[in-house]
Structure 1
Amino acid sequence: MASNIITFGGVFLLVAVASAFDIWSVDHIPNAKKSNDKVIRVRDINVPAGTALDFQGFDGKTIEFHGRVTFGYKEWEGHLIIIKGKNMNIKGMPGHLIDGEGHRWWDKCGGNCGKKKPFMIYTQLENSYVDGLKIKNTPAWCFAINQCSNVHYSNIDIDNRDGHTKGGHNTDGFDVHKSRNIRIYNSKVNNQDDCLAINSGWDIVFENNVCEGGHGIAVAVGGYDVNEAKNILIKNCKVIKNNIGVRVKTLLNGKGIVDGVTFDNVELKDISEVGIVIIGNYLNSGPRGEPTGGIPIKNLNINNVRGNVFGNGTNIQINVAPGSPSGWIWKSQVKGGKKNPNCKGTPGNLNNPCNW
């Protein structure tokens, strides 16, 4: 434990300061793991190609990112950064940047074809905080939030705006799977896919975030080993220049449940395709066929979702299996675009919002 000497009222005080272990190379990580230092400082690392910056076995420690973190180029399907553990504190320090230099992988087709592309950051955390990270140009997906519980992600800046002109695709901001009690707030995403995609999870809050340039905010359930999304709150967010505003989509012929999704005070600005989408016939290649009811959408609350869609777009699209949804509450004001006369499956307690 290091110490600092400070003065207070002319009296010298000896103050204990937590010692830190500096990492300048991935070769330092094993020694950092064995050290008694509570703070691990990552400084200006270039991670070798095909290697993860791997923080497993750092329970109870703080990981600070300083300077610029970069990665060698290789076509592979691993993760550039792995963070697993309990009671961890992940912090981005002033002036730092995690730079994926994604243009080296971008080929306009993301994970669907072309080059093999790594995930940017894989997190599997418990009782932890991730705060202040600044991330630029991810090869494809940014955050995998997988099997996490009681974790806060805050003040995160994911900047993939270069991908709009250089071939970025599937550059999701936050992908959530099998996680519980997750809060993502005060963050920004500029990308070419979902800002947030919840595939499964319980008690998730996405609040005070700005999503720009991508495919909107999605609860997308089906096709995984767990197909439940319950008690989801998306609140006080802005979706700017995305093709979709907000959506709930369930897999065609899938099994599971969506229960208790709320979109509250969400502002849509300059949406190009559809403002609000609720569908039960989703496939990765796009909606297809008649919706199936194996993943019913219950207790959906659309409250004060407002904004504008461009003239060739559609305000609201609903296509769910009749009789499968229940308990919907709807209050939206999406202007511009076109009304969709073919909305299907709205529960009986609600007048069809497509006709408002």
Structure 2
Amino acid sequence: MKFFIILGYLILEILLFARSSAAASCTINAYNEDDIKNAVQSCTDIIINGINVPAGVVLNLNLAEGTKLIFQGTITWEFYEWDGPLVNITGTNIEITGAPNHVLDAKGSLWWDGKGGGGGKIKPIFFVAHGLKNSVISNITIKNTPNHAIWIEDSDGVVAQDVYIDSKDGDTMGGHNTDGFNVWRSNNVRIQRINVYNQDDCIAIKSGTNVIVTDSYCSGGHGLSIGSVGGRDYNIVENVLVSNTDIVESGNGIRIKTVYGATGSVTNVTYENISLKDITNFGIVIEGDYNITNGSPTGVATDGVPIKKFYLRNVTGTVKETGVNIYILVKKASEWQWSNVSVTGGKKTKQCDGIPEGSGISCS
């Protein structure tokens, strides 16, 4: 009798294990809010396969710890004027990846009107990684975002790698403010081996600590940016390394912009082994006069967001004749060291002001 009781328990455990294993993997082949909620609650391997997300809807994925999320096929979003985001992902120890030949097609041309976030149609942010902890985003292909492509916000321990963002259609179809990556209020972020074709910042670190960007390629946008820093609820950028990256045919190469009249800090930032090619406006531009309201410089720097411990090493390349090689307008900056910086080709000049003594910097 005892044998059969034990055997019964074993069979029950096997059945429960089988049911648990079966429930651990889910595939979503069509958008259904209830199906997605059930998958998020019960599965740790989720495939989003070729779905079309309705207008005005967030693909909201608050994933269980340890979930692997795979995007498969072509995922699309319907048009609606709103702020978005179109995708929001949260979780701990999450792996987000794409199957071969997948694409997240945001159909940005439906929103593009040449005005970006400054007017015209209201354009949603595409993909927000919100509150991700110790997670990896890899092998993702994104096409034609209406607005910013990826925000990493309120996150800690995130690696984004082998991400391909292609909004180059916006060059001729009115794309604007199509940032590649934005980092905000996050710690321990590593962005590597990304390719971005767009019409705004390739990467913009607006606030955060311990951020690494490396081995990447930026084309057509506004370059590798810190900022704008100031005027938000968290205004600290600290311990940033940007290295081994090419910036091609972009408006700017390296840029730091802090907000006029605001407070905050930019500390311990290094750019090294950066190659610039055919930059149109500024090869290197460091400004403390950014007007966060209208997105333009004021021409007068303020000192509420000082830039300290700023290092450039092995930054070389070309600016078009109509551009400026180096422009600096800051206040109370300190401990800058530049070495082997050679940016040439621009025939326009702007008078620099606020360069720390002994930094080895020349604007000529």
Same fold (TM over 0.5): yes
- Matched residue type, 1:343: C
Q: Which residue of 2 aligns with 1:135?
A: 142
Q: Which residue of 1 aligns with 2:176?
A: 169
Kept in 2: contact 1:140–1:172 (CA 8 A): yes
> Residues 319-346 of structure 1: CA distance to partner in whole angstroms, max 9, x if unpaired?
112xx11110112101111363611101
Partners of 1:253 and 1:155 lie apart in 2 by 38
- Matched residue type, 1:117: K
Assess, with a 3 A threshold, how the Cα gap between structure 1 residues 210 and 18 changes in structure 2: closer, same or farther. farther
Aligned: 1:22 with 2:27: yes
Aligned: 1:68 with 2:74: yes
Kept in 1: contact 2:77–2:106 (CA 8 A): yes
- Matched residue type, 1:198: I
Given candidates 46, 55, 62, the residue that maps to 1:56 is 62
Q: Which residue of 2 aligns with 1:199?
A: 206
Kept in 2: contact 1:339–1:354 (CA 8 A): no
Aligned: 1:112 with 2:122: no
- Matched residue type, 1:106: W
- Matched residue type, 2:184: H
Q: Which residue of 2 aligns with 1:40?
A: 46
Aligned: 1:346 with 2:351: no
Percent of pairs identical after alignment?
Answer: 41
Q: Which residue of 1 aligns with 2:195?
A: 188
Given candidates 167, 176, 186, the residue that maps to 1:179 is 186
Q: Which residue of 1 aligns with 2:328?
A: 318
Long gaps (5+) in structure 2? 1-13, 15-20
| TM-score, length basis structure 1 | 0.92
- Matched residue type, 1:174: F
Partners of 1:299 and 1:64 lie apart in 2 by 40
Aligned: 1:244 with 2:252: yes
Aligned length: 338
Aligned: 1:301 with 2:301: no
The 3-state SS of whatever aligns with 2:60 is strand
> Residues 123-176 of structure 1: CA distance to partner in whole angstroms, max 9, x if unpaired?
120110000000000011110111110010000000000000000000000011
Assess, with a 3 A threshold, how the Cα gap between structure 1 residues 326 and 17 changes in structure 2: closer, same or farther. farther
Partners of 2:63 and 2:108 lie apart in 1 by 28
Partners of 1:352 and 1:339 lie apart in 2 by 18
Partners of 1:259 and 1:91 lie apart in 2 by 33
Map residues 141-290 of structure 1 onto 2, 5 A cutoff: 141-220=148-227, 221-284=229-292, 285-290=295-300
The 3-state SS of whatever aligns with 1:63 is strand
Partners of 1:75 and 1:178 lie apart in 2 by 27
Partners of 2:92 and 2:350 lie apart in 1 by 50
The 3-state SS of whatever aligns with 2:314 is strand
Q: CA deviation at 1:187?
A: 0.7
Partners of 2:349 and 2:36 lie apart in 1 by 56
Aligned-residue RMSD, C-alpha: 1.6
Kept in 2: contact 1:308–1:336 (CA 8 A): yes
> Residues 216-244 of structure 1: CA distance to partner in whole angstroms, max 9, x if unpaired?
11001112111100000110000000010
Q: Which residue of 2 aligns with 1:292?
A: 302
Q: CA deviation at 1:351?
A: 4.0
Partners of 2:23 and 2:248 lie apart in 1 by 42
Partners of 2:24 and 2:235 lie apart in 1 by 44
The 3-state SS of whatever aligns with 2:312 is strand
Kept in 1: contact 2:322–2:348 (CA 8 A): no
Given candidates 334, 344, 353, the residue that maps to 2:343 is 334
Using the TM superposition, name which of 286-295 and 206-215 deviates more.
286-295
Kept in 2: contact 1:80–1:119 (CA 8 A): yes
Partners of 1:240 and 1:182 lie apart in 2 by 24
Long gaps (5+) in structure 1? 3-15
Q: CA deviation at 1:17?
A: 10
Partners of 1:49 and 1:255 lie apart in 2 by 39
Kept in 1: contact 2:179–2:199 (CA 8 A): yes
Partners of 1:264 and 1:314 lie apart in 2 by 20
Q: CA deviation at 1:314?
A: 0.6
Q: Between Structure 1 and Structure 2, which shows a larger proportion of helix residues?
A: 2
